[in-house]
Structure 1
Amino acid sequence: MSAALLAAALATSLAACSSGDSSSNASSGGGPVTLNVWTWNLKASVPAAKAITDRYHQEHPNVTIKLSEVGGTDDTAAKLLAANRGGDAPDVVQLEYRAVPAMVVAGAVKDISGDVTGAKAGIDPNTWALTTFNNRVYGVPQDLGPMMLTYRKDLFDKYGVKVPTTWAEYATAAEQIHKKDPSVYIASFSAKEFEFFAAQAAQAGATWWSNNGKSWKVGIDSQQSLKTADFWQDLVDRDLVKVEPLLTPEWNAQVNSGKLLSWAAAAWAPNVIASVAPNTAGKWASAPLPQWAPGSAAVPFLGGSAYLVPAKSKHAKEAAAFAAWLGGSDEGSKLTLNLDIYPAGKAGRQATLTHEPPKLMPQQKDFYQVADQVVKNSTVPVSWGPDVNVASNAFGDKLNAAALHKTSFRDVYQATQQAVVADLQKSGFTVTK
């Protein structure tokens, strides 16, 4: 959810600033074209967005961008499938990376490999891979979620706690903090953050989905995955993390009052925290995510989004060109940084190195240098399947209940495995062991 919030900043800002004659919708023969772009809602910087639309219009005076805010990734994906069946699809659609495989399998998005070759040079291979399947490209990455630990530096110092570099050290830090003050926790345990648990399992060596044509393998209940379940089971059972969903009024209040001291998420987390706890600015810092193996720096990405071209877009070439410019060009990538997202393009990433740090931690002048190194180390793939929604629905509520009642986390992972396998088989896929 949180990744989706910041990934949406660019698109909604563009919506606020789009202008032009939307009634003109000529074909790609050189006349005026209106690109209908689907995005989701988030208030963002109108001046920065206007700079993007103005610049694109200067270079492409016959192209008008018309955005529709249709909800988050889950809502957008469902509406895209319906539009694909009905033949009334948009020209560009913004989706988080986890939703891309399902759209590819459903035939709802185009293979745009031949239309975005120029953008590839402007995006690192580990990022380009997020929208590439079987060597075919289905979208252009726009923003990223380099995984980091954002923490209350002042209170870590007060309690004499070292910033953890491994998950074992994280557990020790959780003990130390809660022992010093039983009302304070190192973090909340938010059971419905499905993407985080998938990413952490991948960091531990698990592959939740992999495929070979129509044959899928599911590893949600693999030993590497269950290792991460055991880790959180231990912390929850010992009351070392607070069982509390993210971004609720209760969570916000505890963050403001210094009762929750960290958030293991990504480089977008400081902007989220600043939006709910602005008075704590200057007290936080960010560091690379803890590791399972000491000395290892490899992590996956968490969150971020891409722009894809629906299969029934009326202006597919123009749509692909817009997506390529936004994500892969020097201009587009640099401009997106002003919208408080972490750019996927090389030029935008390079621009972060001289950019002011997030408002939450103005004193951490090396924030973007740390984040840039994390991006370079983001070499662990997180493979998503065509039924991520089934897995997420089976996982979140059951894990939350297990945390509240202190029942088996392993049972939740195994039940999710069974639900995903059954759904794939019902959908006509072969599932191998």
Structure 2
Amino acid sequence: MTHQPHSSTSRTTSSSTPNSLTTGRRSATSRRTFLAGAAATAGLTATACSSGNDSAAGGSGPVTLQFWTYSLKGGDPNAQAIVDRYHELNPDVTVKLSEVGGTPETASKLLAADRADTAPDVVQIEYRALPALVVAGVVSDLTEQVSSAKSGAEDNIWSLCTLDDTVYGVPQDIGPMMFTYRKDLFDQYGVAVPATWAEYAAAAEAIHTADPSVYIASFAATQFEFFAAHAAQAGAKWWSNDGESWTVNLTDDASLATADFWQDLVRRDLVTVQPLLTPEWNAQVNAGKILSWAAAAWAPSVLYSVAPDTAGKWESAPLPQWTPGDSAVPFLGGSTYLVPAKSKHAEAAAEFATWLGASEEGSKLLLTLDIYPGGNGGREATLQSDPPRLMPQQTNFYEIADQVIDDTTITQTWGPNVNVATSTFGDALNEAALGGGSFRDVYSRTQETIIADLEKSGFTVA
């Protein structure tokens, strides 16, 4: 499972009308735009490839690829079987797995390795972290290398690792957004599965009224990526870039409507304010006190890992919508394989990454790691797979997920300082949720912090 929420200690619609957008939009014209970053990356790649790089598999002699990953774990027989299969297909290539932690740790270590000229050859990173690495010039342009493999995944999946029409990665796994819930307890309380967020709020009220110790869900303030996706579903674009300028906008009507939505549920005590995957949260999930999780198709595997005795009591459905009859959602989570600009074996690394993420065989093998492959081969194989262990009775789980992928037409652009946004937003929202502060103010303050950080980092902010 690639994308898991980070635990930390730290939906009725509102009738209030957000302020004019004229004070909510700020554009940043960068001295180092995406185009400049892409050009720098291309230059680094050309240098690396021209300085004695070994060629691809089957080229001039044996190649050892250093692979930084947190999905293919050393000692996992399934991961080893995948690597062994690639060795069988490419006898001159040896893939060495290194576990370097999640995305923040990996990104930091990659930047350090780039400066020290000790970069690995293939790196797994979450999609949201890719823009920052592109701007830093540490990622290779893979557009040409993956061109023959583009049919191995759908366009909406390739878009997750594409910036300014340049492909910087090969998709590993994806997170089609879904709503996973305790069907037995929803039935017990007479609550229907919500198709809209208004219905979600009504369900939250009905459940908590029936039993004040039970909540439809927890409000995990540190889940920045979820709140960004929720706002995107409502029509927001928190970052956008046209190659010359950045626009940062967390205070448009759509974003503030989502802030109001969650503030109302928190104020009425219809969601419990606490982080995910803590011992307390796990205990409440096991006890039937937290009844759902609006996340992605990877959520069942996480829930099963903390509450295996509840298997058979859960089901998953499409994510609630803002407008009845809509179906579009963004992806939530997932990761890509990139090739560092200073890889000593860039061509062989690109071949391995492409085989693993976008070939029929490679993406099917990723299924054995309990992730949702982005490649068509693995995605199609899910339709013949057993349901997740959390809901063995829901035989149509993967059919629903596959339709959600088709409906995933909302694209998100992550800014080069998403790490700053994540920490600022999570800390402030947690404080507001616990202390009764304004969620709107959190969104506004986070926007100002993002802009100030862009300026501090060398971007011109208008």
Pairwise TM-score range, normalised by the shorter structure: over 0.9
What pairs with 1:11-30 in structure 2 (closer than 5 Å)? 27-28=54-55, 29-30=59-60
Aligned twin of 1:363: 393
Aligned twin of 1:205: 235
Structure 1 residue 49 displacement after superposition? 2.3
Structure 1 residue 44 displacement after superposition? 8.8
Report the AA paired with residue 57 of structure 1: H
Do the aligned residues in 2 keep the contact of 1:173 with 1:186 (CA within 8 Å)? yes
How big is each residue's C-alpha offset from its partner over 1:250-287, in whole Å with a ceiling of 9 and x where there is no partner?
00000000000000000000000000000000000000
CA distance in 2, matches of 1:250, 1:313: 43
Structure 1 residue 48 displacement after superposition? 2.6
Structure 1 residue 118 displacement after superposition? 1.9
**1:353 aligns with one of 359, 362, 383:** 383
Aligned twin of 2:214: 184
Cα distance change on mapping 1:153 and 1:42 into 2, 3 Å: farther
Do the aligned residues in 1 keep the contact of 2:127 with 2:161 (CA within 8 Å)? yes
How big is each residue's C-alpha offset from its partner over 1:194-248, in whole Å with a ceiling of 9 and x where there is no partner?
1000000100000010112241000112221111000000000000000010000
Aligned twin of 1:304: 334
Aligned twin of 1:21: none
Cα distance change on mapping 1:217 and 1:378 into 2, 3 Å: same
Percent of aligned positions that are identical: 67
Structure 1 residue 67 displacement after superposition? 1.4
Structure 1 residue 41 displacement after superposition? 6.8
Aligned twin of 1:413: 443
Structure 1 residue 43 displacement after superposition? 6.1
Do the aligned residues in 2 keep the contact of 1:214 with 1:430 (CA within 8 Å)? no
CA distance in 1, matches of 2:250, 2:348: 39
**1:393 aligns with one of 397, 406, 423:** 423
**1:290 aligns with one of 313, 320, 327:** 320
Aligned twin of 1:320: 350
Report the AA paired with residue 407 of structure 1: G
The answer on 1:148 being equivalent to 2:178 is: yes
Aligned twin of 2:118: 88
Secondary structure of 1:149's counterpart equals strand
The answer on 1:167 being equivalent to 2:167 is: no
Higher relative contact order (CA 8 A, sep 6+): 2
Matched positions, count: 414
Do the aligned residues in 2 keep the contact of 1:102 with 1:386 (CA within 8 Å)? yes
Secondary structure of 2:65's counterpart equals strand
Do the aligned residues in 1 keep the contact of 2:172 with 2:336 (CA within 8 Å)? yes
Secondary structure of 1:66's counterpart equals strand
The alignment's C-alpha RMSD in Å is: 1.7
Aligned twin of 1:116: 146
Aligned twin of 2:129: 99
Do the aligned residues in 1 keep the contact of 2:73 with 2:99 (CA within 8 Å)? no
Do the aligned residues in 1 keep the contact of 2:228 with 2:238 (CA within 8 Å)? yes
The answer on 1:278 being equivalent to 2:308 is: yes
How big is each residue's C-alpha offset from its partner over 1:288-326, in whole Å with a ceiling of 9 and x where there is no partner?
000011110000000000000001000000111011001
Aligned twin of 2:10: none
Secondary structure of 1:115's counterpart equals coil
Secondary structure of 1:151's counterpart equals strand
What pairs with 1:260-275 in structure 2 (closer than 5 Å)? 260-275=290-305
Do the aligned residues in 1 keep the contact of 2:68 with 2:124 (CA within 8 Å)? yes
Do the aligned residues in 2 keep the contact of 1:4 with 1:96 (CA within 8 Å)? no
Structure 1 residue 54 displacement after superposition? 2.3
Between 215-224 and 317-326, the greater mean CA deviation after superposition: 215-224
Cα distance change on mapping 1:2 and 1:337 into 2, 3 Å: closer
Aligned twin of 1:239: 269
Structure 1 residue 65 displacement after superposition? 0.6
CA distance in 2, matches of 1:430, 1:154: 54
Do the aligned residues in 2 keep the contact of 1:4 with 1:72 (CA within 8 Å)? no
The answer on 1:344 being equivalent to 2:365 is: no
CA distance in 1, matches of 2:279, 2:258: 28
Do the aligned residues in 1 keep the contact of 2:74 with 2:99 (CA within 8 Å)? no
Structure 1 residue 50 displacement after superposition? 3.1
Report the AA paired with residue 222 of structure 1: D
Aligned twin of 1:12: none
Secondary structure of 1:114's counterpart equals coil
CA distance in 1, matches of 2:2, 2:355: 26
Secondary structure of 1:3's counterpart equals coil
CA distance in 1, matches of 2:411, 2:80: 35
Structure 1 residue 160 displacement after superposition? 0.2
The answer on 1:78 being equivalent to 2:125 is: no
Report the AA paired with residue 55 of structure 1: R
CA distance in 2, matches of 1:326, 1:356: 22
CA distance in 2, matches of 1:348, 1:45: 23
Aligned twin of 1:403: 433
Do the aligned residues in 2 keep the contact of 1:216 with 1:429 (CA within 8 Å)? no
The answer on 1:3 being equivalent to 2:30 is: no
Report the AA paired with residue 312 of structure 2: G
Cα distance change on mapping 1:186 and 1:370 into 2, 3 Å: same
Structure 1 residue 51 displacement after superposition? 2.9
Gapped runs of 5+ residues in structure 1? 7-24
CA distance in 2, matches of 1:337, 1:40: 15
Aligned twin of 1:429: 459
The answer on 1:373 being equivalent to 2:373 is: no
Report the AA paired with residue 106 of structure 2: T
What pairs with 1:210-229 in structure 2 (closer than 5 Å)? 210-229=240-259
Secondary structure of 2:144's counterpart equals helix
Do the aligned residues in 2 keep the contact of 1:92 with 1:319 (CA within 8 Å)? yes
Report the AA paired with residue 105 of structure 1: V
Report the AA paired with residue 306 of structure 2: V
Cα distance change on mapping 1:190 and 1:357 into 2, 3 Å: same
Aligned twin of 2:25: none
Aligned twin of 2:279: 249
Gapped runs of 5+ residues in structure 2? 7-51
Structure 1 residue 42 displacement after superposition? 7.7
Structure 1 residue 82 displacement after superposition? 1.0
